[in-house]
Chains A and B, each alone.
Chain A
Amino acid sequence: MADEPTLGILYALVWTIGPPLIFGGGPLLFSWLVGNAYQKRKLNETAAREQASMQAFGGRDPLTNTVNIYTGETITHGHLLTANVSIGPSWWQLLRTSLKQLIGGRIYSLDNVLEFGRREALQRLREIAQAEGVDYVINVRLDTAEIVTNKGRNSKTAAVEIFAYGTGVYVAKPTDEA
Chain B
Amino acid sequence: MQPGGVPQLMISNTETIPGRTITATLGLVTGSTVRAKNVFKDIGAGFKNVVGGELTTYTNLLSEARNEAMLRMMQAASGLGANAIVNVRFATSAVAGGAAELFAYGTAVQVQ
Q: Identify the A interface with B (CB < 8 A).
A: 27, 30-31, 34-35, 38-39, 42, 67, 75-80, 82, 84-91, 93, 113, 116, 120, 138-139, 141, 143, 145-149, 156-159, 161, 163, 165-167, 169
Contacts and interface: CB of A to CB of B under 8 A. Distances in A.
Contacts of A169: 18
Determine the main DSSP class of A at the interface with B. strand
Contact of B19 (A75, A148, A158): A75
A90 B46 contact: no
Interface of B: 10-15, 17-20, 37, 45-46, 48-56, 58-59, 62-63, 66, 88-94, 97, 100
A88 B14 CA distance: 31
A89 to B, nearest CB: 5
B13 A34 contact: no
Contacts of A90: 49-53
A39 B52 CA distance: 7
A94 to B, nearest CB: 8
B108 to A, nearest CB: 14
A67 B14 contact: yes
B11 A157 contact: no
B100 A157 contact: no
A42 B51 CA distance: 12
Contact of B53 (A78, A82, A87, A167): A87
A45 to B, nearest CB: 11
B62 A84 contact: yes
Contacts of B88: 80, 165
Nearest to A121: B59
30 contacts: A34-B50, A38-B52, A38-B53, A67-B14, A76-B19, A77-B17, A79-B10, A82-B63, A84-B59, A84-B62, A84-B66, A86-B54, A86-B56, A88-B45, A88-B53, A88-B55, A89-B49, A90-B53, A139-B12, A139-B14, A145-B94, A147-B100, A148-B58, A149-B94, A156-B46, A157-B45, A158-B49, A165-B13, A167-B13, A167-B14
